[in-house]
Amino acid sequence: MRISELARETGVPLATVKYYLREGLVPAGRATSATQAEYDVTHVRRLRLVRALVEIGGLPLAAVRDVLAAVDAGPDLSMTAIGTAHAALPPAPPPGTGTERALAVVESFGWSGAGQTNALGRLQAALEAMDAVGLAPDPERLRTYADAALTVAAADVSDVPAGPVADVVEYIVVGTVLYEPLLLALRRIAQQHLFVTRRPGG
């Protein structure tokens, strides 16, 4: 297909398609002349991925590059590839954030694989912020959140595709980007539901 057909197929404006091509976020097509190129389903898939990361995930282009680099990583699935992909997703922990407390919390759940990921820094920053405003969670509440997170994570990885690392990383990253807003929205709606139904006369 030509570039105009690629734009129509994906719903991405032609000018944006050209921009992503110039920036190297979408690979160049097969040149058919000095000014024309052909594109195929791999370009459609990559363009849809970039669009999801930018428009749904709200990632800046630098983060999109990092995610794509992880998606295009070597042939074997590794925690390094998944960690790199997750690290590219916002929000980043504040500079200088430690991980000692967060790691202790995670280890208390019996979880493995956390390593020194950005998620640990985010957890540490969240715990410190809660401390600062007098809302530090007690162990029971932390366990409640951990159990809920583990249930959601189990659903996330239950149907991860078998195959090359690119497919697995893409699935996990895009799923994270697209499902986290869903999870946040459902949590807020559930809170509203509980406030209404548990109040007298609700």
Per-residue pLDDT at 97 = 84
With bands split at pLDDT 50, 70 and 90, how would you rate the model's confidence at 85?
A: low
With bands split at pLDDT 50, 70 and 90, how would you rate the model's confidence at 179?
A: confident
Per-residue pLDDT at 106 = 92
Domains (range + CATH), the chain? 1-56 (1.10.1660.10), 57-198 (no CATH)
**Any residues with CB less than 8 A from the CB of 182 and at least 6 apart, and which?**
none
> How many angstroms separate the CA atoms of 175 and 57, rounded?
10
The closest of 46, 55, 16 to 181, measured between CA atoms, is 55
pLDDT for residue 170 is more than 80: no
147-165: per-residue pLDDT in tens? 999 999 898 888 887 776 6
With bands split at pLDDT 50, 70 and 90, how would you rate the model's confidence at 123?
A: very high
The closest of 129, 148, 132 to 140, measured between CA atoms, is 148
DSSP 12: -
